[in-house]
Amino acid sequence: MSLLLDEIALAAARLAEAGVESPRAEAELIAAHVHGVKRTELHQVPDAAFDARFWEAVARRAAREPLQHITGSAYFRYLELEVGPGVFVPRPETEVLTGWAIGLVVCGMIIRQGLGAESLAYSIMILVLPLCCVYYPVWALPLWLQPAAWSLTPTYVFEGMRAILIDGVFRADLMADALIINAVLLAASFAAFLALLRSARRHGALIQSGE
Q: Give me the CATH number covering residue 44.
A: 1.10.8
Better-predicted residue by pLDDT, 142 or 117:
142
Q: Of 13, 42, 71, which marks where a domain is finished?
A: 71
Most confident of 34-38, 68-72, 138-142: 34-38
Task: Please name the residues in contact with 172: beta carbons below 8 A apart, sequence gap of 6 or more.
Answer: none
Residue 66: CA atoms inside 13 Å, Cβ hemisphere, count?
A: 14
The stretch 199-207 carries a mean pLDDT of: 68
Are 117 and 153 part of one and the same domain?
yes
In a domain, 87, yes or no: no
Least confident of 86-90, 175-179, 197-201, 202-206: 86-90
Q: What is the pTM of this model?
A: 0.46
By percentage, how much of the chain surpasses pLDDT 70?
70
Are 124 and 48 part of one and the same domain?
no
Residue 111 pLDDT class (50, 70, 90 cuts): low
Are 98 and 173 part of one and the same domain?
yes
Average model confidence (pLDDT) across the chain: 78
Least confident of 116-125, 147-156, 186-195, 201-210: 201-210
| Amino acid in the structure at residue 128 | V
In a domain, 80, yes or no: no
Query: What's the domain range around 184?
Result: 92-208
Are 45 and 131 part of one and the same domain?
no
User: Residue 180: what pLDDT?
Assistant: 87
Better-predicted residue by pLDDT, 77 or 58:
58
Q: What are phi and psi of 119, to 5 degrees?
A: -60, -35
CA-based nearest residue to 155, from 179, 134, 183, 141 = 134
Number of domains composing the chain: 2
Are 65 and 97 part of one and the same domain?
no
